[in-house]
Amino acid sequence: MTSELPPVPIHDRLGIEIVLATTDEVVGTMPVSGNEQPFGALHGGASVVLAESLASIGSALHAGRDHSVVGIEVNASHHRAATSGVVTGRAVPLRIGRRIATWQIEIRNDTGQLTCTARVTCLLTPQ
């Protein structure tokens, strides 16, 4: 799936891989290693990058190539530390309109435990 997307430098730096991308669901993974905060757990900011990336990709697929997509609001709650392995984010749309798309994202660790929930709103603008 990643080969169908244009290069995304932050995805390369954080090791994000998109494994599924449709207008109804976007799934991506990210390693914990290399993305930790000073105390050894996955950095909350890395989780937010994963969440916004998934929502932006889903929004772009909905809007089409003739629109630009930008995140305009992000809210994230961190529930549990991830200290190793890979986390998986799954984004599903809460509401998709002509100009605004809002997504709910759950990020889970290797054992399926919820580590973060996020809500991302994207603005869809004609180019």
Q: Which of 108, 42, 119, 113 is nearest to 77 (CA)?
A: 119
Domains identified in the chain and CATH numbers: 2-126 (3.10.129.10)
Per-residue pLDDT for the chain (127 aa), expressed as one digit of tens each? Answer: 544 667 789 999 999 999 999 999 999 999 999 999 999 999 999 999 999 999 999 999 999 999 999 999 999 999 999 999 999 999 999 999 999 999 999 999 999 999 999 999 999 999 8
| List 4, 17, 25, 52, catalytic entry | 52
DSSP state of 6: P
pLDDT value, residue 8: 86
**Which string of b and e fits 26-58 if b means at least 16 CB within 10 Å?**
bbbbbbbeebbeeeebbbeebbbbbbbbbbbbb
pLDDT value, residue 2: 47
Where would I find the beta strands (DSSP E) of 2-112? 17-21, 26-31, 67-78, 86-96, 100-108
Residue entry with tokens 């954080």 = 14
Query: Quick check: 51 and 107 in contact, CB under 8 A?
Result: yes
52 is catalytic: yes
Alpha-carbon span 33 to 86, nearest angstrom: 8
Q: Which of 5, 19, 126 is nearest to 67 (CA)?
A: 126
pLDDT value, residue 4: 66
Rg (CA), the chain: 14
pLDDT value, residue 7: 79
Instruction: Report phi then psi at 16, rounded to 5.
Output: -75, 130
pLDDT value, residue 6: 74
